[in-house]
Every structure is written in C-alpha cells, then in structure tokens.
Amino acid sequence: MTLDTNHPESETINVLRNRRSIRKYAPEPVSDAHVDAILSAALRAPTSSNLQAYSVIVVRNPETKSRLAEPCGNQKHIIECPVFIAFCADLTRIESAFERNGHTINDNNLELGLVASIDASLVGMATYVSAESLGIQGVMIGAMRNKPDEIANILDLPERVYAVFGMCLGFPAEAPKQKPRMPVNGVVHHERYDADASLGVIDPYDADLKDHYDSIGKKSHSNSWTHEVDTKFSPRPRDNLRAELKARGFDFT
C-alpha cells in the first residue's frame, strides 16, 4: 500500500517535504530575535510525563565553534555557520526532584536516559522545522557523540548532561539536490508490520541512491545504501559511548 498522493497541503507539510541538509551559509546574520523565536516555539515540543529532560546551548563564539568542530571530525560548517546549537539530554533537574522527595537517581536505568535523549531529539526537530519556516536552514551533527567528555568540557556540561546532537543554522547559500528517501510502501505500514514490504524497498533504493550520487558527481557503490550502512556501522561505531555516558550519569545497560 502507498500513501495517497492527493493529500492536503500546508506550509508545514511543504517545509518538511522540501527539507535538505544545508552546509554552506549566506553572510546574512541570524539575529538573537530569530533564535529566540525559533526556540520559544521548539520548547513546546512533546515531552514524556512533562519531564522536560533537556537543555539547549546556543553557540555563536567562533573560538568555541572551532573547538567543537575538532571532536566532530573537523566539519567546517560547524565553524562557518552563524549559529550552532547543542541539544542535550539533561537529568540534573530530575535528580533535584528525586532528592527533594528523599530518593536518588544513582540507580537510574535505560528508560530515564532514553526519555531524556528522545526529549532532546524532539526539541531539536521542532527547532529545525521552526527555523526553516523563517528561511533559516542547516544540518544535524550526530558527531557530537564522538567524544562526549570532550564536548562536555568545551560546553561546561555537568554530570547528568550529555550532548545528543548539534545543529548548524544559517540562511542558505546553496540549494543542494534533495537526497531520495526509501519508498513509503516499505516504511509506512498499515494495521500490522509487513516484513516483505520493508525488505522489498532495499534494492530499488540502492539504485535510486546511486542515481542520485551519480547526478551530483559523487562517487558511489553499485549497492549504494547497503554498502554505506555496512561500511559505517558494521565496525561498531562509537564503541565506547555506552561506558562514557554511564560515567556521565546515564545508564544505557
């Protein structure tokens, strides 16, 4: 089954349908008023049990952005973007609530860390959509998890806080071709999960992604998506992440 192509239209739907990652930015400044408007809207994102287990750090200082770029693989758009935002899972206020009621957070389990990470991610996506509605675009930076302790030192994050991901934002200086997504009939299921449909989109998507890379002059493999996934993730990326986050007060065991 596929999605109905004759769907209703709205500004928000069109913003999301046209979304792409932007890594080059125009000199037009992103004002504090822009950032305040974006974040005041984004902080209305859903939060589990009203925990609001996140903190958001806005970074403009060029030296700080340069320091952040290094553990993130020296991605130059972190340095060049007008505004960089770190979205953090934050258990400090939860810890205070426990202590005020005679309990401790020291034996927290997977659920609390997962909730905080999801909360931060929901605020991040709401930030991205709010920014795009003002013509401000950017790219997510998952490499903030490469070296969580180093990032924590740069941003003065206390125990019980870690950066889930970052975001570069600015007015775009480019309009890159939109990367294709998997066919919806293998991703969107109705009433129950369809395993055949899920796996059936892999081969056509490999071909679609290769065609996309060919069209922009980027070298790719014949089975483009499956090769990328295997190359990037079969070697167990960030293998020390669980231990490093546990040392920061997040138990993901």
Q: Is the pLDDT of residue 189 over 90?
A: yes
What is the amino acid identity at position 10?
S
Tokens (6 digits) for 57: 């750090």
Q: Is the pLDDT of residue 2 over 90?
A: no
Report pLDDT for 107.
86
Q: Is the pLDDT of residue 127 over 60?
A: yes
C-alpha Rg value of the chain to the nearest Å: 20
Q: Which residue ranges form the domains of the chain, and what is each CATH number?
A: 11-176 (3.40.109.10), 184-229 (no CATH)
Are 250 and 106 within 8 A, CB to CB?
no
What is the amino acid identity at position 132?
E
Q: Is the pLDDT of residue 60 over 90?
A: yes
User: What are the distances in angstroms from CA 106 to CA 96, 229, 246?
Assistant: 12, 36, 11
19-59 pLDDT, tens digit each: 999 999 999 999 999 999 999 999 999 999 999 999 999 99
Report pLDDT for 65.
98
Cα within 13 Å of Cα(235), Cβ side: 6
Tokens (6 digits) for 184: 């919806």
Report pLDDT for 253.
74
The percent of residues in the chain predicted with pLDDT above 70, rounded, is 98
pTM of the model: 0.94
205-240 pLDDT, tens digit each: 999 999 999 999 999 999 999 999 999 999 999 999
Q: Across the chain, what does the average pLDDT equal?
A: 95
Distance CA 183, CA 204 (A): 8
Distance CA 90, CA 242 (A): 16
C-alpha torsion sign, points 112, 91, 238, 188: positive
